[in-house]
Structure 1
Amino acid sequence: MFLLQRLDNTKKKLKGQIANVLTLLNLSLGAFAILYTIQNQLQLALLFITIAAVFDRLDGAVARKLNSTSELGKQLDSLSDMISFGVAPALLIHQAILFEFGFAGAFFAIVFIVCGAIRLAKFNITEANGFFYGLPITAAGCILTIMTLLVAYIPEYVFMINTLILAFLMISPFKVKKM
């Protein structure tokens, strides 16, 4: 009986960590995106950020389905999102086009990262009740990432403007219904 009870407790603990493993995969993919961006392998970095978005979507769904949401999971998710959808896309867009603007391009990329950090910190201390306030960093980061596919077709200054708009949308007060 004791062995069965202990086995059941171990099973519950493992079940509770599945979502965290998915979150860590999200973070790892974001880190790979950063490393490949630094190596100027932008298409591969874009792919890693895209796959990170899939894992980000899965981790929350799995946590809710398995009833294994936790404060640790929430914090870990935000830290992972900062890497995968804040730092990685900002570095990617900088390497793809914003570097041409020198300090201004770097500044805009950093503003995106800072606004993403503010947005995630606000999310972690706010009861959302079915709503997000401001554009979620995952959406902003994915939009910024996809924009890198348009570098050959859109004037350079548009990327600076869009980076700034996305940054401020993340910290804006409007409500977005959770999906």
Structure 2
Amino acid sequence: MFFLHTFSQTLRKMKTQTANILTLLSLSLGGSSILAAMENEIYTGMLLIFLAALCDRLDGAAARRLHIVSDFGKQLDSLSDIISFGLAPALLLYQGILHELGAVGGFCVILYAGCGALRLARFNISGCTAFFTGLPITAAGCAAALSCLAIPYGPPVIFMILLSLLSILMISPLKVKKI
């Protein structure tokens, strides 16, 4: 009987942490993408960002479905997002091509990460509505990561413009319907 009770408690605890585990997996994938960028493994880093986006999508869905939405989970998700979709894609682009622009390329990375942080902070203090204000950082990060496929075909200035545009869209008053 003790074994069944303990097993039941363990399953309940695991259920309550499912979304946080997925969030930490997303964070780990984003961190791994940064490590891949440092090793100049741009395409591997890009793939890791897309896997992080999948985990990011699943963590919110799991939290809602299992009725385990929490303020802690919301904050953890934002901290994960700034790594996986704020820093990782910007560093991939920097390592892949923006480094050729020197300090200007570095500024674009910092601008993008800063705007991503502002976007997440604004989301965290806003009430839940049917719309996001500004381009969600996950979408911006995936767009930046996807652009890595074009590195062999475009000059660095194109990627500078893209990263700057994504930065502005994240902090803009643009309304994006939640799905």
CA RMSD of aligned residues (A): 1.7
The offset of 1:88, in angstroms, is: 0.3
The offset of 1:36, in angstroms, is: 1.1
Distance 1:8 1:126 in 2: 37
The offset of 1:18, in angstroms, is: 0.5
- Listed as ranges, the matches of 1:5-154 within 5 Å are 10-154=10-154
The offset of 1:44, in angstroms, is: 1.1
Distance 2:8 2:130 in 1: 33
3-state SS of 2:129 partner = coil
The code of the aligned residue for 1:103 comes to A
Distance 1:56 1:155 in 2: 31
The corresponding residue for 2:157 is 157
Distance 2:121 2:62 in 1: 23
The code of the aligned residue for 1:178 comes to K
Distance 1:129 1:6 in 2: 40
TM-score under structure 1 length normalisation: 0.94
* Structure 1: gaps spanning 5 or more residues: none
* Structure 2: gaps spanning 5 or more residues: none
3-state SS of 1:173 partner = coil
Distance 2:129 2:10 in 1: 32
Distance 1:3 1:147 in 2: 52
* Matched residue count: 179
3-state SS of 1:67 partner = coil
User: What per-residue deviation string (whole Å, max 9, x for no partner) do you get for residues 52-102 of structure 1?
Assistant: 111011110111111111111100000000000000001001111110100
3-state SS of 2:176 partner = strand
Distance 1:131 1:8 in 2: 39
The offset of 1:47, in angstroms, is: 1.2
Distance 1:41 1:29 in 2: 14
Distance 2:18 2:116 in 1: 26
The code of the aligned residue for 1:98 comes to L
User: What per-residue deviation string (whole Å, max 9, x for no partner) do you get for residues 96-135 of structure 1?
Assistant: 1110100001001110000000000111111131211000
Distance 1:82 1:163 in 2: 15
Instruction: State the identity as a percent.
Output: 54
TM-score under structure 2 length normalisation: 0.94
The offset of 1:4, in angstroms, is: 7.3
The offset of 1:158, in angstroms, is: 1.1
Distance 1:105 1:176 in 2: 28
The code of the aligned residue for 1:142 comes to C
The code of the aligned residue for 1:147 comes to S
